Amino acid sequence: MGVSITSSQAFTACGCAGFAAALAARSPFADVEAMIEAARAVWWGEVKKEMGGEGERGRVSLSPTSILIHANLSSPPPPTPRPQTPIAGWLEAFASHPVLGDAAKLASAPPTAHTALSASEQAAVGEDAPGAAALAAANGAYAARFGHTFIACAAGRSADELSANLHARMANPPYAELAAAAAEQMKITERRLAGVVGGGGEGPPGPPGAAAAPATASTRSPLTTHVLDTSVGAPAAGVPVTLLARPPGAPPGARVWVDVGARGAATDGDGRVGGLLAPRLDGGVEPPPGAYRLEYGMGQRRRGGGPAGHPQQCQTTWSPTPAVEFEVAPPGVGTAPRHWHVPLTWAPHGYSTYRGS
């Protein structure tokens, strides 16, 4: 059975009129996964607000230079009709969100479906009134630096966790932070889309395609990794692992990455990370097609994280943050789909990797 969505439903998921219209125009879809794939394509490459302009003049590539230019636009657009770029559509969506932690403004906002979802998503934030107030206050400094409110998928996250995330992102250059905010908005949108068309709630937060999996779907992350420290001959525990992806629509080879992996991921006592991506809605066994980058914080590994007899200490290394970049081909191209496992064999002065399964 196909999946249909109206522009009103799409706007509830993402407060950008151009996004809502473009996604609804593509409806119906084969399934929820196909709808989310279409939503990604619209969000990263086609979003624009209808203001009297059409066609390619209203688009920009997702290059660091173009993002930097638009990220520094802190004043409102001129009142004369003009085409808007995808980035202007992003800012429109950002502006639709209440300030994280500002309970008073959220309570006084018009009772729309969008507001109701925001209130539900911020429930955990509201459990800590002092923390929420501090988060709202920090939002002011963030907005002064970047020109828009702080965007983060808040569902199930505490005020302290979101505050730490905000302060960490304050160090980003404008173009990188705009991309990070856009990635968070996409997480929110996908979560809401799954709830809007599925009727079963908003779904859990997560990376692209990370809505709640039905009972028939795969329960395994399509991407896992494993780190072995050859200097001690044991698994490397306590290593922070970050999964990044090149946004759909970015030029091939562009050095633009957004964080799509599980928050706070780190290797366990066996040196493994098993939940970098949520299981796919359609039961697929490999990550969605695209370019990915795994970063390993070997220089940040937690003290005492190793197995008995092999205490692992933070240490100076030749490559404190080794990275592995790889591409997942679309279905039907190359080998048959299979689970992706990316092992890292590491030593203080070198490392290697390969495609596992």
Residue 291: what are its φ and ψ, rounded to 5°?
Answer: -100, 135
pLDDT tens-digit map of 313-325: 445 567 788 999 9
pLDDT for the residue 251: 75
Per the rule left: phi > 0, alpha: psi between -120 and 50, beta: everything else, 238 is: left
pLDDT tens-digit map of 235-288: 899 999 999 888 876 777 778 888 888 777 888 888 888 778 877 666 667 888
pLDDT for the residue 324: 94
pLDDT for the residue 63: 38
pLDDT tens-digit map of 88-144: 889 999 998 888 888 777 666 665 666 677 777 878 787 788 888 999 999 999 999
- In angstroms, rounded to a whole number, what is the distance separating the alpha carbons of residues 213 and 217? 6
pLDDT > 80? residue 206: no
Residues 6+ apart with CB under 8 A from 144: none
pLDDT > 80? residue 57: no
Mean pLDDT of the chain: 74
Residue 254: what are its φ and ψ, rounded to 5°?
Answer: -65, 140
Residue 69: what are its φ and ψ, rounded to 5°?
Answer: -60, -50
pLDDT band (50, 70, 90) for residue 23: very high
pLDDT > 60? residue 218: no
Find, among 323, 322, 269, the residue nearest to 292 by Cα. 323
Question: What is the reported pTM?
Answer: 0.55
pLDDT tens-digit map of 168-189: 899 888 888 888 888 888 888 9
pLDDT > 70? residue 50: no
C-beta contacts of 135-144 below 8 A and 24+ residues apart? 135/100, 135/101, 135/159, 135/162, 135/163, 135/166, 136/99, 136/100, 136/101, 136/102, 137/101, 138/163, 138/166, 138/167, 139/99, 139/100, 139/101, 139/102, 139/166, 141/170, 142/166, 142/169, 142/170
pLDDT > 60? residue 82: no
- In angstroms, rounded to a whole number, what is the distance separating the alpha carbons of residues 72 and 173? 10
What percent of the chain has pLDDT above 70?
Answer: 71
Helix residue spans in the chain (DSSP H): 7-13, 17-26, 32-45, 64-71, 86-95, 103-108, 113-121, 123-126, 129-146, 159-169, 174-198
313, amino acid identity: Q
Asked if 208 contacts 186 with a C-beta cutoff of 8 angstroms, the reply is: yes
Most confident of 17-21, 61-65, 212-216: 17-21
Cis peptide before 330 (omega within 30 of 0): no
